[in-house]
Structure 1
Amino acid sequence: MPTPIEAVRLPDPGPVYTALLRERPFAFDERVGAWVAADAAAVRAVLGSAAVRVRPPSEPVPAGLTGTAAGEVFGDLVRMTDGALQQRLKAVVVEALATADTARTRALAAGHTREALAAHRGGGGLFEELMYGVPARTVASLCGLDRDAGAEAARAVGDFVRCIPASATPEHQRAAAAAAARLRELLGPGIAAGADGTGLLAGLVAAATRASWSRTAPLLANAIGFLSQTYDATAGLIGNTLVALARGTAEVPGTAGRTEALVREVVRHDAPVQNTRRFAAAPLAYAGAVVEPGDQVLVVLAAANLDPAVNPDPLALRPDRAAPVVFTFGAGAHRCPGARIAVSVATAVVGELVAAGLAPGTLPGEPEYQPLANARVPVL
């Protein structure tokens, strides 16, 4: 049986996750050197526990990033930190993202999609631009960047995110440091403009002011986080929705509402973020076992999405599913606050492709997947 990490790149990871749910919903897996939380109850218990951290307590910032611009940004990201300050700043970030207008987000993403279709007509690289470039450029537009600056930010964030996985090489870390410095230059004026500016950055500063948060550097780091968190996750969501159409497991949607319903079900059924890790800082007792300080927990979000205890008939792709329970965006203190933006962007991209006459049969139904440990992103 493949490991939960190997399952991320399988044509269908469902059987691996179903076996985990049935046989080992919470157990230590020597092959991955970590406890594995697979079912909904275990995932909730781990993500809701104060005993675990999002980073190893002994290494809050990867050693190769320490002392660089990328390390400074990394150390201030709410997704990479814990504690009372993190919760205070997370509340500011959540409030700011809540100001993003979904209709405007869809309109921006649709416009960037049409530009990509025109620019790549008859050429290669279209789907890479649609999956990675369009989401990053859309968020850059929401942050108030103009066309050229937004395109540059989209390229830079691609370099920055490569420093985040544990597999990052020194070359990746050097490129990420340069990218972080440039992203701070691009986004800094929007933070400096304060609440009188426009878009997400103005919302971020306004929320910080209401929370009596005065430190600028963490605000700027999390503005970069707006871009970086869209990268692999939204690419996977767009790609996995297109794969569902290519396989014929979903009908080509005829309306914006049906497109959004399909995207939301793909979030659950073929999650773009399949797993995440937690690191025990104190003993965590669960299901008769004890996770000791220093141990890792691999939290298999995609398996929990398929837990029949929370989602009946979980292996079926049903866009009309009522009130699904979805773990893809996490839970607890580190739940991703960008779900609305991700769904809006993916809905717009897929909708524009359908409107342009996309023939799903021309896409690979059994694609290769990017060599990532936690994100499921098809190569189209």
Structure 2
Amino acid sequence: MTPFEAATYVDPYGYYARLRHQRGLSFDANLGLWIASGACVVEAILAHPDCLVRPLHEPIPAAIAQGAAGDIFGRLMRMNEGAQHQCPRRVIEPTLALMGTENIAGIVAQVVETLDVSGDNPNEWMFTLPVSVMATLIGFTSSQLQEVAQLTRDFVACLSPLSDEAQLGRAHCGAARLSRMFGELLSHGDKGSGVLGRLYRDYEACAWKDDDALVANMIGLFSQTCEATAGLIGNTLIAFQRNPDLFENMQPTPTLVAEWVAEVARYDSPVQNTRRFVARRCTMGGSVIEAGDTILLLLAAANRDPFANPDPDSFLLNRTQRRTFSFGSGRHQCPGQQLALAIASEVILALLHRQPALLAGTYRWSYLPSLNGRIPQFCRDGEIQDSRRAHE
């Protein structure tokens, strides 16, 4: 098995444990990169100033460089360093924190009613609702939600090296259309007193002025919400089926579901790994890493490191001082972590209200093809699945 295959393997955590026990950081000659699996070294690499999110020679992946998706990618704060990272983050991070104080439960209920999402299709809930909640918070109308959600999913395809030409073509089209929609939203004279108004006031008050980068990073928020939150929701539904005893004689209250989601983010991360690219020679975990080297950080392995979380292979709802690397750490830590957890929790509550049978294990699933994401796709008993990836 390779770390890339592990992301969608039935149970990769024994493999991750063996990597940690052998050495927290090691070089894989077959893959031509370093693999970091221990919590301490993963945290150190994420914080190191010479470990960058993109290689210096290729700031934008070659497959999308000549198109709208590449234009967006090149302006994303999560894919840049220095001012291109810090300036948009200083504007957007306070708004994300305020979003977390909004009535997420009420917005989820509103979106569910507006879209009339089928209660027996968790896949639609996973991929449509989180982005639609974000779109509602930002200020898109109810008639735009389906389109925004689909365009976001189209754009997300550009982030995967597994995407084919047709998917990349849709990604460019989606990026162009989303850019126009966000541009139109920002061009309105009265942006109101809500999230969009606060965001734009912070933007106008700061020295950073780059309308295209602002639009790109708003699209980036939606793309991060799309797959990562879908995976978080889906893996929580799987955790319900695998741990039915924890829900016996208990109602799925907001507090209980929030604990489930937080533990799932650690226990079965929707983002299994990420990469860093070394700009200058440095020493990590007792090893010398040369400029130009690539490091694959196994976030899911670090989550299960006993030095970070005692009794890491147990699913514990009331885990104290839980440490989760799924959202990164250091300067590139996801600023929307709490908002993502809140949206996932409220979507699951609404789904369980409509479809309580999800707790009874009526679904099978397979994982969507990915090198780093662990995102299930559900089907009912009797529906055809790829037998190599079917789980129950």
Q: What number of residue pairs does the alignment pair up?
A: 374
Shift of 1:114: 5.2
User: Which SS does the other structure have where 2:344 is aligned?
Assistant: helix
Aligned partner of 2:336 in structure 1 is 338
| Structure 1 pair 92–292 and aligned structure 2 pair: CA distance change class (3 A) | same
How far apart are the structure 2 equivalents of 1:233 and 1:322?
Answer: 24
Aligned partner of 1:242 in structure 2 is 237
| Structure 1 pair 253–6 and aligned structure 2 pair: CA distance change class (3 A) | farther
How far apart are the structure 1 equivalents of 2:334 and 2:169?
Answer: 27
Shift of 1:184: 1.2
Greater CA drift, 206-215 or 191-200: 191-200
Written as runs of structure 1 = structure 2, the 5 A alignment for 1:21-170 is 21-113=20-112, 118-120=116-118, 126-170=121-165
| Structure 1 pair 148–16 and aligned structure 2 pair: CA distance change class (3 A) | same
How far apart are the structure 2 equivalents of 1:361 and 1:310?
Answer: 32
Q: 1:205 aligns with which of 197, 200, 206?
A: 200
Aligned partner of 1:6 in structure 2 is 5
Shift of 1:328: 0.6
Partners of 1:102 and 1:340 within 8 A in 2: no
How far apart are the structure 2 equivalents of 1:90 and 1:101?
Answer: 16
User: Which SS does the other structure have where 2:296 is aligned?
Assistant: strand
Greater CA drift, 251-260 or 57-66: 251-260
Matched, 1:348 2:346: yes
Q: 1:177 aligns with which of 157, 172, 189?
A: 172
| Structure 1 pair 9–253 and aligned structure 2 pair: CA distance change class (3 A) | farther
Partners of 1:70 and 1:177 within 8 A in 2: yes
Greater CA drift, 305-314 or 4-13: 4-13
**Aligned sequence identity (%):** 36
Partners of 1:48 and 1:332 within 8 A in 2: yes
Shift of 1:96: 1.9
Partners of 1:107 and 1:348 within 8 A in 2: no
User: Which SS does the other structure have where 2:209 is aligned?
Assistant: coil
Partners of 2:114 and 2:142 within 8 A in 1: no
> For residue 47 of structure 2, what is the amino acid of its counterpart?
G
Q: 1:329 aligns with which of 315, 327, 330?
A: 327
Shift of 1:297: 0.5
Aligned partner of 2:271 in structure 1 is 273
How far apart are the structure 2 equivalents of 1:194 and 1:203?
Answer: 14
TM-score for the superposition, normalised by structure 2? 0.90
Partners of 1:69 and 1:178 within 8 A in 2: yes
Aligned partner of 1:363 in structure 2 is 362
Shift of 1:105: 2.2
TM-score for the superposition, normalised by structure 1? 0.93
Aligned partner of 1:225 in structure 2 is 220
User: Which digits, 9 at most, give the CA deviation of each residue in 1:224-269, with x for residues without a partner?
Assistant: 1121110110011000000011112542653111111111111111
Q: 1:296 aligns with which of 294, 297, 300?
A: 294
User: Which SS does the other structure have where 2:5 is aligned?
Assistant: helix
| Structure 1 pair 194–166 and aligned structure 2 pair: CA distance change class (3 A) | farther
User: Which digits, 9 at most, give the CA deviation of each residue in 1:349-376, with x for residues without a partner?
Assistant: 21122223422224346x3211111111
User: Which SS does the other structure have where 2:266 is aligned?
Assistant: helix
User: Which SS does the other structure have where 1:27 is aligned?
Assistant: strand
Shift of 1:143: 1.1
| Structure 1 pair 253–27 and aligned structure 2 pair: CA distance change class (3 A) | farther
| Structure 1 pair 184–349 and aligned structure 2 pair: CA distance change class (3 A) | same
Shift of 1:140: 0.8
How far apart are the structure 1 equivalents of 2:155 and 2:33?
Answer: 27
Partners of 1:201 and 1:223 within 8 A in 2: no
How far apart are the structure 1 equivalents of 2:36 and 2:353?
Answer: 41
Aligned partner of 2:370 in structure 1 is 372
Aligned partner of 1:313 in structure 2 is 311
- Which segments of 5 or more consecutive residues in structure 1 lack a partner in the other structure? none
| Structure 1 pair 51–377 and aligned structure 2 pair: CA distance change class (3 A) | same
Aligned partner of 1:215 in structure 2 is 210
> For residue 350 of structure 1, what is the amino acid of its counterpart?
I
> For residue 41 of structure 1, what is the amino acid of its counterpart?
C
Greater CA drift, 312-321 or 184-193: 184-193
Shift of 1:121: 5.4
How far apart are the structure 2 equivalents of 1:140 and 1:261?
Answer: 25
User: Which SS does the other structure have where 1:35 is aligned?
Assistant: strand
| Structure 1 pair 119–38 and aligned structure 2 pair: CA distance change class (3 A) | closer
How far apart are the structure 2 equivalents of 1:235 and 1:193?
Answer: 31
Shift of 1:195: 7.8
Q: Give the aligned CA root-mean-square deviation in angstroms.
A: 1.9
Shift of 1:136: 1.0
